[in-house]
Amino acid sequence: MAMSWYPGKTTVEFFHSDEPLILPSKSDSGPPRALPELVKDAVPPCSLNPLLFNGHLQTFWTASNRGGPPIHYKRRVFESNDSRFAGHFTVDFATAPPPEAGKAKDGGPEDEGLREDPVGIGHHRLPPRTTYFTNKEVENLGSEDTKPLIIALHGLSGGSYEVYLRHVLAPLLAQTAEGEAAGGLSGADWEALVVNSRGCAGSKITSNILYNARATWDVRQVVKWCREMWPKRPLYAIGFSLGANILATYLGEEGSNSVLSGAIIVSNPWKLEVSSLALQRTYMGMAVYSKAMGDSMRKLFNTHADQIKHIDGEKIQQIKYLHEFDEEVQTKTWGYPTAGAYYRDASSADSVLAIRTPTLCLHARDDPIACDEAVPYEEIQQNPYVVMCATGGGGHLSWFEWGGGRWHAKPAVEFLNAMAKGVDSSKIEMPKAMSELPANPAGHKMPFVFEPMRRKCHLADGEP
């Protein structure tokens, strides 16, 4: 869908299957809707700040503009229930602001509540507006309410404090009379939590590994825990950048067993090797983006150097770029021979073929980090469960509008509300064409089977 041009206005295009997924209505009298139709109704025109007229300027502004809607969190420390991925990770639950929160500016310190970890593994420095749950509060978390819950995954070395993430969660968490009547943590129509990657957002690690671009084990544990804790809540998920790659992989791994009612994938690098090579072949890519990401990962490593003893710390101090960090840390930690092998194995471009959850993808075609050439447009058009919305501008996790708003929050919130309020996810039926093997034009039985989730780096014990 192309739109007429004026300063700041950019094109919006949709990519989806010609045989769309049909979404049944919650209302007995409501007509079913095709997933692409619902998405197009949820996506507004994209009018960006005309002063930020390309992907670089949009992305640079992300680093310099740290203001955003404040969200208060309570943190809980989880211990992995899978011995193969032993260790701890943290989850931040959105909560209603404490009584004195209005006196603090966005980004300022918030001292209300428990600052010490009741589990006892400690922390480095909690993000603003974040405190720990008490043990008693954790015991009372369970609920029989039907409020939808959004599970968020942040980008590389980020956390629940990220501004791009808060711009999406804040409208969902706006308090309403209906939400207050339903109770819950936030007093809103929605509940939200953020799964922090291991070692991120001020958390400590208790094993010798950080995380990687395929690290789906912690989010899987959280989703299962949420289903047990809140059996009647519809569950949704949103992932940003590296978190988007992890979420897409998780959705593919779960396939038709997914308990999520919907998902959003934002600024996914998709084909990690393609995105990495695109960064390496330009001055801006290497000297600015790859160096910045390499610096952030080196700082994260240094924070946890005492636990990550299998890596030569002196070599880490000499690296400059993200691919050098991955070569030195991810390959040695996870058993990959090279960074390229890691990138190819951890990419989610094929995973999109296995997704069986209604999913909206958001992408800016001028994204300098998650480059357009890495987007699996053809694969997306093969899967009725997935719709891609690609804008002509917006940069990486940016989409700044005039006045400081973030465009990506609008379609994300509208899509989630449309799914939660109007779609009966329990009655979605898989299109018949997807359950049938394609006919072989050569007329013989095919000796090969394409399995999008098969990976070269796999669990040696053969268990999922």
| Letter string b/e over residues 329-351, b meaning 16 or more CB atoms within 10 A of that residue's CB | bbbebbebeebbbbbbbbbbbbb
Span between the terminal Cα atoms of the chain, in Å:
40
Which residues contact residue 187 at a Cβ distance below 8 angstroms, ignoring those fewer than 6 apart? 96, 175, 179, 180
Name the residue type at position 402. Answer: W
348 in catalytic set: no
Using DSSP, state whether 116 is helix, strand or coil. coil
398 in catalytic set: no
Catalytic residue among 347, 396, 398, 425: 396
Catalytic residue among 17, 186, 203, 241: 241
Burial class (CB in 10 A: 0-12, 13-18, 19+), 145: middle
Alpha-carbon separation of residue 65 from 60, 69, 213 (angstroms): 9, 12, 26
Alpha-carbon separation of residue 66 from 61, 165, 167, 384 (angstroms): 9, 12, 11, 37
CB 110 within 8 A of CB 72: yes
What is the C-alpha to C-alpha distance for residues 408 and 387, in angstroms, rounded to an integer? 15
- Render 302-345 in DSSP notation, one character per residue: HHTTTT-TTS-HHHHHH--SHHHHIIIIIHHHHT-SSHHHHHHH
CB 328 within 8 A of CB 16: no
Q: Please report where in the chains the tokens 């770029």 appear, as a residue.
A: 321
19: closest CA among 384, 417, 333, 356? 384
Catalytic residue among 189, 345, 350, 367: 367
CB 235 within 8 A of CB 226: yes
CB 236 within 8 A of CB 263: yes
Name 89's bridge partners: 78
What's the token pair of residue 446?
Answer: 């095919």
What's the token pair of residue 443?
Answer: 């007329």
What is the C-alpha to C-alpha distance for residues 45 and 397, in angstroms, rounded to an integer? 17
CB 297 within 8 A of CB 156: yes
396 in catalytic set: yes
Burial class (CB in 10 A: 0-12, 13-18, 19+), 456: exposed
Residues with a known catalytic role: 241, 367, 396
